[in-house]
Structure 1
Amino acid sequence: MAPRRAAVLRGEDDGRSLREHLIATAEHLIADRGTAGLTVRAIAREAGVADGVLYNHFADKEELLANALYRYVRSVERGLGPLPEPGVGTVEAGLRVHLAYGLALHRAILPAFTGLLAQPVVLARFAELRDHGEHWRDKLLGYLRAERESGRLAADAQVDAAAAMLVGVCHETVLSALLPSGTASGAPAVESVVTAVLNGIS
């Protein structure tokens, strides 16, 4: 006989488990309220379960938050659409899309990460959930390396440095406004950043 579903999930048609329900609830809270001050009690109340139920499905609060953060980031990434394929269009157009994607991604997810700076265990477990190559910066670097290999960039193009510069623009633009006493520096135009990078590697 199949086990009875938790009362909070009875009548639901998606067939998800209580563990999945808790992760989805925490993900929703992260998207709606951020991570600062997010407690087990708040997650449990939103999920419609007793506080202690979480510990039947997770080793600790950190495991739940790491999984919810991972799902939140993946959800944001899906909403940003596809990244350009190497060899399609111009390299300049491809980098513009990559940089616009990176800026939008960082604006959406960095506030959630800053709310967890005092919880390094959560961030470490989040990092363990992500596969190599899954990060936007890995995809950007892969794109630049492929364009170099195809001859559309110079054979000695310093693509690792170029990728670091583009990622740095995203970090500086968002973090300058998030950190204490920070002021928004204003992102340089995507076109001007891409032009500056390409002048060094094309």
Structure 2
Amino acid sequence: MAVMSPRKAAAQRDGQSLHDLLVETAQKMIATHGTTGMTVREIARLAGVADGVLYNHFSDKEELVARALLEHVRTTEAELGELPVAGEGTLTGNLRRHVEFGLALHKALVPAFSGLVGQPKVLERFAEISERSGYWRDRLVAYLEAERTLGRLRVESEVDATAAMLVGYCHASVLTTLFPHTAPLDPPPVNAVVAAALHGIAPPDAEGDTEA
């Protein structure tokens, strides 16, 4: 009679499937050590199951890592708290919250994704299973669109471009800390970036001089 491992037995007692146990184990590995060097053997060892069990629940290692990565994104976002609601609070305070959320999110996730640069299949699987509507950038665009609809932003406001600039700021700020030798950049403070996004850099009477 086969002896069940303690982790497997505990998972079944708690009603957790082996599928979920493996995803949870891989997600914790990503949160602690990143994605570089993850192996099926190490995931199975930490989950307390045989190596071959993985292939009973996933088509391959890439699917497991992709699902663990998605769970890591969801867990990280949940830990960062709620984002502002359009029409409530101030535009400055709400945008500052969005940018601070984005900075914290990038700081937690960029290392995990950067470790997968040489594993495009994992990134392809992640794109297939993730819900685009849940991405922070899309939530930022939706927030700005809602504020524009409410009249708290100008009707001609370029919300997509504004979101792209704010997301780019988060990217640059985090990448600078990860790779200081390749990008010697001193990012401006969040308040300055929010002010630039809200008010622009040209005086009101110069708006007609800009090119279409």
Q: TM-score, normalised by structure 2?
A: 0.88
Tell me, in whole angstroms, the C-alpha distance in 1 between the residues paired with 2:140 and 2:151.
Answer: 17
Spell out, residue by residue over 1:19-46, the C-alpha distance to the aligned partner (whole angstroms, 9 max, x if none). 1000000001001111011111110111
Structure 1 letter corresponding to 2:153:
L
* SS in structure 2 at match of 1:133: helix
Residue number in structure 2 paired with 1:10:
9
Identity of counterpart residues, as a percentage? 53
After TM superposition, give the deviation of residue 186 of structure 1 in Å: 3.7
Deviates more, 1:154-163 or 1:9-18: 9-18
Tell me, in whole angstroms, the C-alpha distance in 2 between the residues paired with 1:180 and 1:44.
Answer: 35
Tell me, in whole angstroms, the C-alpha distance in 1 between the residues paired with 2:25 and 2:151.
Answer: 47
Residue number in structure 2 paired with 1:127:
127
Residue number in structure 2 paired with 1:174:
174
Unaligned runs of 5+ in 1: 1-5
Structure 2 letter corresponding to 1:164:
A
Tell me, in whole angstroms, the C-alpha distance in 1 between the residues paired with 2:164 and 2:36.
Answer: 28
Tell me, in whole angstroms, the C-alpha distance in 2 between the residues paired with 1:57 and 1:37.
Answer: 21
After TM superposition, give the deviation of residue 9 of structure 1 in Å: 2.5
Structure 1 letter corresponding to 2:117:
L
After TM superposition, give the deviation of residue 50 of structure 1 in Å: 1.3
Spell out, residue by residue over 1:78-123, the C-alpha distance to the aligned partner (whole angstroms, 9 max, x if none). 0000000000011111100000000000000000000001011111
Q: TM-score, normalised by structure 1?
A: 0.92
Residue number in structure 1 paired with 2:89:
89
Structure 1 letter corresponding to 2:182:
G
After TM superposition, give the deviation of residue 49 of structure 1 in Å: 1.1
Pair 1:153-2:153 in alignment: yes
- Structure 1 contact 177–185 (Cα < 8 Å) conserved: no
Map of 1:28-67 to 2, 5 A cutoff? 28-67=28-67
Residue number in structure 2 paired with 1:188:
188
After TM superposition, give the deviation of residue 154 of structure 1 in Å: 0.5
After TM superposition, give the deviation of residue 200 of structure 1 in Å: 2.5
Residue number in structure 2 paired with 1:68:
68
RMSD over aligned Cα, in angstroms? Answer: 1.8
Residue number in structure 1 paired with 2:210:
none
Task: Figure out how many residues of one structure are paired with residues of the other and give that number.
Answer: 197
